A and B are shown apart, each in its own frame.
Chain A
Amino acid sequence: GAVVSQHPSWVICKSGTSVKIECRSLDFQATTMFWYRQFPKQSLMLMATSNEGSKATYEQGVEKDKFLINHASLTLSTLTVTSAHPEDSSFYICSALNQGGQETQYFGPGTRLLVL
């Protein structure tokens, strides 16, 4: 139980294009999901909190117009990196809060983004 998936697992795109990453909770409903970013040899940094049916809450320094988050259902949140640039290349990881189970967050496998 408590499985979270992400799609795609990796993506390469050209500078200036937009990339959408999906995060799904497969066997539980998640009113809250989180998006993290991890640069090489660094730890995970929280980017934003995604709440089903409402606007996401962004951490300080994260541009909400660049990283669009949509949480349209209890099992799906999407992160769209708009007008991607090489400095956006990173490992993007989502997590979903399972309040009905262990009451902790479970992480997806991550999406590696490379912007050329």
Chain B
Amino acid sequence: DAKTTQPPSMDCAEGRAANLPCNHSTISGNEYVYWYRQIHSQGPQYIIHGLKNNETNEMASLIITEDRKSSTLILPHATLRDTAVYYCIVSPRYNFNKFYFGSGTKLNVKP
């Protein structure tokens, strides 16, 4: 049950900003947008989440459009260690048994 659409892969030069888009046109009013990433052969790592306002933490920024139908995860200065599969997930708060990962975007950070 795909609720988000992400490009399968993206390239980014080391030191530059990585902007990862996500479409979630059927998002409901009570659903949050979550971003996780999975480095090869590891468990997913939480990055950031938001409802409608833009959010920023030490890892990334999350920009959500006003109509909430899409969002962008921004890694301000990508490093080689940021190479991973990035998952955009929409889910109601506290209802994580509806956490659908989808295919994600493979971000390749190149020197």
Contacts and interface: CB of A to CB of B under 8 A. Distances in A.
B97 A46 contact: yes
A93 B44 contact: yes
A57 B97 CA distance: 9
A21 B34 CA distance: 27
A32 B101 contact: no
Interface residues of A, number: 27
A112 B41 CA distance: 9
Contacts of A4: 43
Given A43-B102, A43-B103, A43-B104, A107 B43 contact: yes
B101 A43 contact: yes
User: How many interface residues does chain B have, given as a range?
Assistant: 20 to 34
Interface string B25-43: 0000000001010100111
A109 B45 CA distance: 9
A97 B96 contact: yes
A99 B94 CA distance: 8
Interface majority SS (helix, strand, loop, mixed), chain B: loop
B41 A110 contact: yes
B49 A107 contact: no
A61 to B, nearest CB: 14
Contact of B46 (A32, A104, A110): A104
Contacts of B42: 109-110
Interface string A98-110: 0100111111111
Interface of B: 34, 36, 38, 41-46, 49, 87, 93-94, 96-97, 99-104
Closest 9 CB pairs of A and B: A107-B43, A43-B101, A44-B101, A107-B44, A110-B43, A49-B97, A93-B43, A109-B43, A108-B43
6 contacts: A43-B104, A45-B101, A59-B97, A102-B46, A109-B42, A110-B42
Interface of A: 2, 4, 6, 32, 34, 43-46, 49, 57, 59, 91, 93, 95, 97, 99, 102-110, 112
